[in-house]
Amino acid sequence: MIKKTISVIIPTFNRKDTLKEAINSVFAQTLLPDEVIIVDCGSKDGTKDAVLKSSQKITFLETKISGASAQRNTGISHAKGDFIAFLDDDDIWHPQKLKIQMDFFETHPEIAMTSSEIVRIEDNIIIKKPSWIFGDLYLKLFMESFIHTSTVIIKRDVFDKVGHFNEHYLRAEDYDLWLRISRIFSLAHTTSPLAWIRKCETRLSNDKIDLRNTAMKVLKEQYDPHKISERKYDKRISNIEISLGRRYVMAGNREEGKKQFLSAIKRYPFSIRPYRYLLSTIIK
């Protein structure tokens, strides 16, 4: 059996302390990767010095192009591994993360990408026998964005078929790539959490609105009418419009929120939720 090599890519910017924890979790793996690549886009907090002083063998790359998409793409271009694993600089892997996912690749060679559930940093992870959903997950992924970037491992040659992260997207760029992959490849996702994530408390209302607007654009671009019925498509877009409308109302823009609720009703009038939210914008 030929050994498959693994490259880990970690984009970072001014998170020296959490980056250290992320790196430590990589080198604590029961199956160690063959390459760890840090891609920095101009940190001013001493990130570079901290990484270069580390005793671990790490490739440190610098890019002037900001954005996680560009950083990850830079890492992919330099990576030598047969498999590419992603980790955000404020997340942490469970020690068995790589082993569990690579074992699944070994027994299911048709799978192009694996991922797992996540938990918050303050929660515990108890590893039992992992259960998996796998195969054609395009419909499930289209209807629900359930894959976190820090859990993903992708076969290197997949990028030759679908391309890299779309650098025009500042948000939902990962969702866009997962959908592109799932349209033509088989995926696998384990319900066992294999990574800890930190909840971002600093995200502004405008960021959340922009995320949903971008997600809507991604869904419209990645919609395949041969695989998803128009009714399901309308239901998904309607749900995004409801969520977007609620965010506009929370941000104080009730008129835009009302527009989103009306659009959701017109697109998919079978759900009571948009009627309820629309009514709340009228009577208050």
Question: For position 105, what pLDDT does the model report?
Answer: 97
Among 84, 83, 66, 92, CA closest to 14: 66
Instruction: Give me the DSSP letters along the chain.
Output: -PPPPEEEEEEESS-HHHHHHHHHHHHT-SS--SEEEEEES---SSHHHHHHTSSS--EEEE-SS-SHHHHHHHHHHH---SEEEE--TT-EE-TTHHHHHHHHHHH-TTEEEEEEEEEETTS-----S--EEEE--HHHHHH-----GGG-EEETTHHHHH-S--TT-SSSHHHHHHHHHHHHSEEEEEEEEEEEE---S---HHHHHHHHHHHHHHHHHH--TTTS-HHHHHHHHHHHHHHHHHHHHHTT-HHHHHHHHHHHHHH-TT-SHHHHHHHHHHH-
CA 75 → CA 21, 37, 85, distances in Å? 20, 6, 10
Taking the C-alpha atoms of residue 186 and residue 113, their distance in angstroms, rounded to an integer, is 7
The confidence score (pLDDT) of residue 81 equals 96
**In CATH, what class is 6-197?**
alpha beta
What pLDDT is recorded for position 283? 79
For residue 219, what are the contacts with CB-CB under 8 A and spacing of at least 6? 142, 179, 236, 237, 240
Report yes or no on whether pTM surpasses 0.75.
yes
Q: What pLDDT, on the 0 to 100 scale, is given for residue 1?
A: 52
Tokens, residue 155: 């076969």
CATH architecture of 205-283: Alpha Horseshoe (1.25)
Predicted pLDDT at 57: 85
Residues of the chain with CATH 3.90.550.10: 6-197
pLDDT at position 64 is 84
What's the CA gap between 31 and 97, in Å, rounded?
Answer: 8
- Positions of the chain with pLDDT under 70: 1-2, 55, 200-206, 284
pLDDT number for residue 188: 98
Domain with CATH 1.25.40 in the chain: 205-283
